[in-house]
Every structure is written in structure tokens, then in C-alpha cells.
Amino acid sequence: MDYSIETILDRLEDDKAVLVTPWGQEIFWPQKDIPPSIELGQTLQLFLAIEKPAVKETAPPSKPEINSLSSKEQNIIAKRVLEELLNGST
């Protein structure tokens, strides 16, 4: 669900823009983040949204390519695969 607050650009103080809500709350906002075309007294709508946590996608661990292994390592793997096939293991 999104929320919004209507504010008025009341004044500029140093590097801050002072936005005032309808109930008189002052919000100090970085002046550099206010659009340059906005003038004092104009209405700005502030939108608030609930951010959903990012889902981190993880790649499965990579397995080395058989061709990148030494002959000895290839023989060990081949032997294990044959044993699993002959013994019915998974």
C-alpha cells in the first residue's frame, strides 16, 4: 500500500527546502532534490511506499568441467559413476 502527503514549499534555509504539511509539520528536505521549476508556495506531493525485501538470486554452485580436470581426477569420477550405476546407488 502506498501513502502520500501533500506539502507546500514554504521556504529555503541554507541547503534545505522546508516543506509544510496541512497539520503544520515541517519537513526539511535537501534543496538539491527539489525540482528547479518549483517555486515557493507551490504544492509538492510526497509519496511513501513500503519496500519489499529484494530476493537475492543465488546461482547453484558451479561444477568443474570434466575436461578441466586432470586425468587422475577424471578416472576417479568415472570410477564413482560406474560404481553407482552397477550398485544401483544414487
pLDDT of the residue at 66: 64
DSSP single-letter state for residue 68: G
CB 74 within 8 A of CB 66: yes
**Beta strand 26-30 with 43-49: parallel, antiparallel or unpaired?**
unpaired
Q: Tell me how many degrees the CA angle 44-49-54 measures, rounded to the nearest 5.
A: 140
CATH, range 2-49: 2.40.50
Report the chain's C-alpha Rg in angstroms.
Answer: 31
How remote is the C-alpha of 84 from its chain's centroid? 44
- The yes-or-no verdict on residue 18 having pLDDT over 80 is yes
26-69: pLDDT as tens digits: 999 999 999 889 999 999 998 887 777 777 777 666 666 766 77
The per-residue pLDDT for 89 is: 57
Provide the residue ranges of all domains of the chain, joining segments of one domain with +.
Answer: 2-49
Task: Dig out the grid coordinates for 84 from the structure.
Answer: 553407482
Residue 77 binned pLDDT confidence (cut-offs 50, 70, 90): confident
Report pTM.
Answer: 0.54
| 47 residue type, one letter | F
